[in-house]
Chain A
């Protein structure tokens, strides 16, 4: 992209709308797309024609995939003006595709071909592809196990934290008992419970739910509490003069008003819970991506580790995306602040 800022981009796009034929912008864009295609073709070429130093499978598959993508990009660059909507969507991704193609080519060259990066710690791209092709079932099971554990733990913690937070903000009697407990236990890293939890709970799985819940629950509690406590008191005045009951004040005034805070807590809790998830899977639960990572380490299967890391980050980012989606839906009355 030639534009430097969103404003410049805006100006450019209105420019090209006026003169859609072969402007300098269009030529630059097509050039970029052809470059991106070339980068992927280069990757395919390196992979296939430059002999590997060692024995890594799945080179041909990688080459086929890379050349297919490269060819598609070049075709897209040449036909872009014909099918404008598709081209527009691809255009945003082109710089990334170019960078990625180059990155993979360099990676391929410095690992499998030249051996500059020490082996076996840095497996080449087609070794990682091999993991996905040959071990997808085990990876899939691990993802399913991790998602289940994370989701359950997070939901338990979020629900518990939310209820505790609302009660803390609302009931003095509850606060009297819960506040000291929360102050004592909340800041303790949940991992510290790990040795005890694995013995005290009937299974390491239920212990992990507890730990993830605890980690999620603390920030959710604090933020919900402060959200409820900071509700503008004139909201209550308005509702009370209109005949609102106590329940109405809690559910229709305090909670909706506190919801933006609650989501801050949920995001903090979610981020922290990933660390506990992976640790718990590594230390006790014999399933999930954390366990897969550790198992791969035991076999010095470095390609498997990178594959698991990639899958894990996709899983975590999906959770965050999902939470953003829910937030945007529930807080649709606000102008969106950040776009995840």
Chain B
């Protein structure tokens, strides 16, 4: 895969700062309210790479949906670059837990979706090709989603997000379904992209190691309703190695926070 700085805006104006101000969220499940997020307050600086860790079903995806503007929070507000988020915006793109490619569009047209929706398809042709090359799928531009492997579909979803030149990249367990080798190389790729482009990144993952290898900061969430249990900075240079003693210590600390002190 090629490194590609031109896909993203270089320099300091890239990225977006984020602030969660006392955000709570509830769903209604079988008539009863189901609190999912409990007074989350968090500031994310421009260009940070924040990983969210928490037990399954605690509300991580919900938190991301609020940032994406797909749903308004029940209480509180999410602020991006000083403006309250009231709806989706192509500067904040999401790579969902499922690739959700459109089956009636081939790979290229799936990647082109954002540019087409924003009416800039004509000027964006070269970008699409570049992004396809970036994720190593230029040979599959004409293939349809049902002809792709799971890992390839994930990469198409990543390309579909990146082609929009986001200021905030929201990743919801993007690598959850990949085999461990593809996973390792994609982790490296995403970190490289983030370092080149400088966008802010929110990553939800259930893999502590992944968070430790990729993020500059790890937020540990409690069980549902999710609140912030810990906010851990990882000041380690890249590329990181899983055997590093600092990381191993942090890993044990996080496991403890999640209630697995006994585990190795």
Which residues 41-85 of B have a CB within 8 angstroms of A? 65, 68-70
Question: Residue A238 at the B interface, CB < 8 A?
Answer: yes
In this complex, how many residues of chain A approach chain B with their Cβ under 8 Å: the count is 22
Contact B104 A241 (CB under 8 A): no
Which residues 160-179 of B have a CB within 8 angstroms of A? 160, 164
Chain B's closest residue to A243 (CB) is: B90
Chain B's closest residue to A335 (CB) is: B146
Chain B 88-125 against A: per-residue CB contact (8 Å), 1 yes, 0 no?
11101110101010111110000001101110000000
Interface residues on B, range: 20 to 34
Chain B's closest residue to A239 (CB) is: B117
Contact B117 A256 (CB under 8 A): no
Contact B102 A244 (CB under 8 A): no
Question: Residue A203 at the B interface, CB < 8 A?
Answer: no
Contact A242 B164 (CB under 8 A): yes
Question: What A residues does B117 contact at CB under 8 A?
Answer: 239, 242-245, 248, 252
Contact B96 A242 (CB under 8 A): no
Q: Which residues of A contact B (CB under 8 A)?
A: 232, 234-235, 237-245, 248, 252-253, 256-257, 259, 331, 333-335
Q: Pick from A232, A237, A242, A335: contact of B113, CB below 8 A.
A: A242
Given the known interface contacts A257-B104, A333-B144, the answer about A241 and B118 at a Cβ–Cβ threshold of 8 Å is no
Residue of A242, A331, A334 contacting most chain B CB atoms (<10 Å):
A242
Given the known interface contacts A257-B104, A259-B104, the answer about A238 and B144 at a Cβ–Cβ threshold of 8 Å is no
Given the known interface contacts A243-B114, A335-B146, the answer about A238 and B100 at a Cβ–Cβ threshold of 8 Å is yes
What are 16 of the A-B contact pairs (CB < 8 Å)? A232-B100, A237-B65, A237-B68, A238-B102, A238-B113, A240-B87, A241-B68, A242-B90, A242-B113, A242-B118, A243-B114, A244-B117, A331-B104, A333-B103, A333-B146, A335-B146
Report the minimal beta-carbon distance from B256 to chain A, rounded to whole angstroms.
35
Instruction: Kindly state the separation between the CA atoms of A240 and B68 in the bound complex, as whole angstroms.
Output: 9
Q: Pick from B92, B103, B144: contact of A241, CB below 8 A.
A: B92
Contact A241 B100 (CB under 8 A): no
Contact B100 A243 (CB under 8 A): no
Question: What A residues does B164 contact at CB under 8 A?
Answer: 242-243
Question: What A residues does B103 contact at CB under 8 A?
Answer: 333-334
